[in-house]
Amino acid sequence: MNQYSKTPGLAIVGFGGMGSQHAKMLGSVSDVFRLAGIYDIREERQQYAAKLGLSPFASYEELLASPDVDVVLIATPNHLHRPLSIQALQAGKHVICEKPAMLNAEELEDVLAVARKSGRVFVVHQNRRWDDDFRAVKQVLKGNSLGKVFTIESRIMGSQGIPGDWRTKREFGGGMLLDWGIHLTATLDGARTPEPHLLQARAYTGRGMRRQRQTVPVI
């Protein structure tokens, strides 16, 4: 039974590139969520949201205290995902968090424990799982049309300063392997591929210049 007497209200925290895109897309699912407002620490983004006819909250605390907000969508730099998610869950809100969920598995376990204790839902937005190419690969694997799959190679690239801004800084949880590479591991997991024995990640910068290489055994 639906616990809501009206369409659940969703508030967006972080009104940068992804946050503003989420606000735009919510118009196509207005029967699922209604946009209850936004909050960003930058005043210019608050003003921009107001110009768009949205309702900016004065603070994160005000957002969490609002009875009009049932769900919090977190679209901030990655290092803020854990504290903001915990605050929202403890305030009785459900949470949709941008990828990567956290900076490491321990942080994610912390958040999931709070979600269980509060009886609220925590979910990560992995948008690439709805891409046509991923869905095609998933169907091929499910149908076993290629026979036994023993190796999968996938890659993701950026150029012309993209990704930029905080996404290039380690202290904010940036970098290609974590911020964008998570798309690759998430799609492999979402495709229900056979249990991997080894994950190998490589990152490069410039023409043929190797930046990082890491081999990770999976237990």
**pLDDT, tens only, 119-131:** 999 999 877 777 7
More confident residue, 141 or 1: 141
Q: Where are the beta strands (DSSP E) in 28-113?
A: 34-39, 71-74, 94-98
**Nearest residue to 84 (alpha-carbon basis) of 60, 112, 49:** 60
Omega of the bond leading into 194 within 30 degrees of 0 (cis): no
More confident residue, 178 or 164: 178
**Nearest residue to 49 (alpha-carbon basis) of 41, 7, 162:** 41
Strands 210-217 and 94-98: unpaired
pLDDT digits (tens, 9 = 90+) for 40-88: 999 999 999 999 999 999 999 999 999 999 999 999 999 999 999 999 9
Phi-psi map region of 89: left, alpha, beta (phi>0 left; psi -120 to 50 alpha): alpha
**Is 216 a residue whose pLDDT tops 90?**
no
Phi-psi map region of 51: left, alpha, beta (phi>0 left; psi -120 to 50 alpha): alpha
- Tokens 């990567």 identify what position? 100
Identify the helix (H) or strand (E) that includes residue 49.
helix 43-51
Q: Provide the whole-model pTM.
A: 0.79
pLDDT at residue 28, as a whole number = 85
The least confident of 18-27, 123-132, 205-214 is 205-214
**Nearest residue to 55 (alpha-carbon basis) of 46, 67, 42:** 46
**Nearest residue to 174 (alpha-carbon basis) of 88, 96, 100:** 100
More confident residue, 133 or 37: 37
> How many alpha carbons fall within 13 Å on the CB side of residue 22?
27
Phi-psi map region of 204: left, alpha, beta (phi>0 left; psi -120 to 50 alpha): beta
